A and B are shown apart, each in its own frame.
Chain A
Amino acid sequence: MTEDEALQIGRQAVESARQRVGDNRTALIAELENQTERDSRLMEAFAVAGHLILRSAQEVKH
């Protein structure tokens, strides 16, 4: 999975969850966590995106 794919999958999952439960952050987090537990591809997408976020932050530091 590329980083672009990971970001796209992650954003789509958030948008779908938002349509189901609205903007309430607690409800959104619970919905996304449940989805991530059921869908290993989504878990991988978030992990890849998280790695990208960390790498960007570490590159800015140096």
Chain B
Amino acid sequence: MQIQQTPHKAAAPALDPFNRELASVPMRFLAKDAIAACASFRDAVCLAWEHRASRGMTQRTLAELLEIPASHMSNMLNREGVDRHGKPRQDLPARSIADFEQRVGNRAVSQYLARLAMLTLMEEVITAQRGL
């Protein structure tokens, strides 16, 4: 009896080196200034990708590891938020952030989100206090 493998499962053995490496690579935090320079979530995702622990990891490999279509991954890792037709590019889904950070080996996205929340809450508190 022949067992049909899905394309993703069939590709799994080729990903093994990255899975093995994943277990041994500690998660890094990037410099505060680099995070502060990110103007958007997209910038933070691209920064995290540029500082990936495995320099040999391609976008296609990352896409397979995250189970995201390669064309979508390419859009998510593009600094430009819109394509040449003016159509908005997809963002990395919030649900994939933890897995993405594990794969690239740094916490740049979480650092960016923490800063975003800090700035948002700061403005909220200042506005509320002024309204009293």
Contact = CB atoms under 8 A, between A and B. Distances in A.
Interface residue SS majority, chain B: helix
Interface in B90-125: 91, 93-94, 97, 110-122, 124-125
Chain A interface size, as a band, is: 20 to 34
B114 A43 contact: yes
Contacts of A51: 94, 97, 110, 113
Interface string A17-59: 0100001010011001100100000010011111111110010
Given A46-B115, A51-B94, A53-B113, A18 B121 contact: no
Nearest to B120: A53
Interface residues of B, number: 23
Contacts of A36: 114, 118
A48 to B, nearest CB: 8
B60 interface: no
Contacts of A7: 121
Nearest to B124: A11
Nearest to B113: A50
B94 to A, nearest CB: 4
A47 B112 CA distance: 8
Contacts of A10: 117-118, 121
A33 B115 CA distance: 9
Nearest to B114: A46
Given A18-B129, A54-B41, A58-B94, A28 B122 contact: yes
Contacts of A28: 122
Contacts of B51: none
A34 to B, nearest CB: 11
Interface in B29-64: 32, 41
A23 B126 contact: yes
Interface of B: 32, 41, 91, 93-94, 97, 110-122, 124-126, 129
